[in-house]
Amino acid sequence: MKPHYPDGLSNPTRRTFFTCTAVTMGAAATGAFAATPVNAPPEGKRKFMEEATRLATESVEKGWGGPFGAVIVKDGEIIGRGQNRVLLTGCPVYHAEITAIMDASHRLNPKALLGSDYGAGTILDMIPREPNSPDPVPQRARMLKGCEIYINGAPCPMCMSAIYWSRIDHVYFGASLEDTSRIGFDDAFQYEDFAKPWEKRRIAVTPNFERDKGLEAYQAWDNKKDRHPY
Ligand SMILES: [Zn+2]
């Protein structure tokens, strides 16, 4: 994916802020991070983690975002790249895994351009439910089935969920959630929060608000004869 560079990058205030952050992070990185290769990927796959880390480091050095990069691999070839660009875009969900998934999806489905008027319906092909799968439908869109993702750090819950939606087969990640917390990104608490009932969540949630209204769209999906499960 070719990066595009909104004007925000030239904002000196943001540059100063990020440089300070990067220095702090660099100091932490040289201090206490022990190299503890647990379940290290096979040698032939190391180059994918190297590319994910290269993307992550580039994002730090250019002030685009946090130190997170990801690549998606299909049949031994990188088909998607992503890096965190939250600072560059001001978009809180501009995470490496999300952008790698969008890049790979675009590569696999080049006619399905986001926002295009290519046509009605979908070009996603269907594949059968896997044996012993709890999947309630017999077929689903292929998405990124057959792909692997390599991430230099543990995925946050949003990105892990995106990986589920993508049907990616295997996740390789380097740094742990604890490592991520130590450089100031508190992804770990979200995993803990998701395990709690709605009323105990950190963010106020009102369930069952106008449920009947919401269900009207579900009914439309249910009534659609040619619906395409994904
Ligand atoms: Zn994420």
Query: Separation of 224 CA from ligand 1 center, angstroms?
Result: 33
Choose between 11 and 108: higher pLDDT: 108
Q: What is the pLDDT of residue 211?
A: 98
Contact 86, 67 (CB under 8 A): no
Which residues have a beta carbon within 5 Å of ligand 1, which is an ion? 95, 156, 158-159
Question: What is the CA(79)–ligand 1 centre distance, in A?
Answer: 19
This prediction has a pTM of 0.77
Catalytic residues: 97
The length of the chain in residues reads: 230
| CA 92 to centroid of ligand 1, rounded, Å | 9
* Residue 169 backbone dihedrals phi, psi, to 5 degrees: -80, -35
User: Average pLDDT in the 142-148 region?
Assistant: 92
